[in-house]
Amino acid sequence: MKIVVALGGNALQNKDSDFTSESQLNIIRKSVKHLVDIIEKGHDLIITHGNGPQIGRIIIQNEIAKGITPAMPFDVCGAMSQGMIGYHIQQALGDEIKERGKKKSVATIITQIVVDKDDDGFKNPTKPIGPFYSKEEALRLKEEKGYEIIEDSGRGYRRVVASPKPKKIVEIETIRTLVDNGNIVIAAGGGGIPVIEEGSKLRGVEAVIDKDLASERLAKDIDADILLILTAVDKVYLNYRKTNERGLNKVGVVEMKKYIEQGHFAPGSMLPKVLASIGFVESKRGRKAIITSLDKANTALCGLSGTIIE
């Protein structure tokens, strides 16, 4: 089967480890073992991933070094994070595949995703990015650079950018060609680089596409059989972390929509995963989505764990 695997942040970085390149690579080396288990069963994998902490650190580096070298715009920072994380996943996967005596090529595609310049997300930026600022710094940045700034839960002030919906993937034909020829592809990292169309040209914009919705778009466009969203929990829960918590196993789309209406899923965490899953499953008969943890990925594909949405 053709499977789009959306890697959560816990597959890339451990909150108890340091933030060095070496530490990230070591965590990814452990994570990809679960992916190679899937590959050994004959499935074709297309891998997406988040980039929140990584792009945040790139922006901090930009801020600190701006007196020495010009800071890069946000879309370029997104491309840098795609390259960095893709390189680590690509290397770790390649090494693990070779260790098991298999032959499979891995390629990272720096991915642009077209968004609508009139998307409602641009009218109300809500996605926090980068470091925290004092009130004085925030006011200065708002005046000098026109940044949208919000106070973030008593922790300080942060810049916010738009979070528009993905319309189409620019490099989709390249991705399809690589997958059809038996390659493992890493694409749409961090939700992809948001670009808008200006005539026949593309222009990067300062925005963040939700990584789960980007994974849904990618899974639809390459005609995947399964969208496998890997996160920090083993399945989707109703009444999460309450005394009446209940895990969901196999669920239909209609039932899942009812749970959304009842407000069971947090907007910043589980809700986009559920919405992406529903969107993918509804797009074509026979498709299914699975939400589970990295260590349960294989058993979830066998129908023995995770939340399976059909």
User: Can 154 be counted among the known catalytic residues?
Assistant: no
Q: Which of 121, 127, 192, 235 is catalytic?
A: 127
* 8-state DSSP, 223: T
User: Can 9 be counted among the known catalytic residues?
Assistant: yes
- Within the chain, residue ranges assigned H as helices are 21-40, 52-65, 74-99, 135-145, 172-180, 211-221, 253-261, 270-283, 297-301
User: Can 123 be counted among the known catalytic residues?
Assistant: no
Half-sphere exposure of 8 (CA within 13 A, CB side): 20
Token readout for 216 is 């849904």
Q: Which of 2, 9, 142, 165 is catalytic?
A: 9
Q: Which of 51, 78, 235, 273 is catalytic?
A: 273
- Burial of 251-275, coded b for 16+ CB within 10 Å and e otherwise, reads beeeebeeeeeeebbeeeebbbbbb
User: Can 279 be counted among the known catalytic residues?
Assistant: no
Determine whether 53 is exposed, middle or buried from the number of CB atoms within 10 Å of its CB (0-12, 13-18, 19+): middle
User: Can 211 be counted among the known catalytic residues?
Assistant: yes
Would you say 303 and 297 are in contact if contact means Cβ atoms under 8 Å apart? no
Q: Which of 10, 26, 183, 298 is catalytic?
A: 10
Q: How far is CA 116 from the centre of its chain?
A: 20
Q: Which of 78, 121, 211, 279 is catalytic?
A: 211
Catalytic residues: 9-10, 127, 211, 273
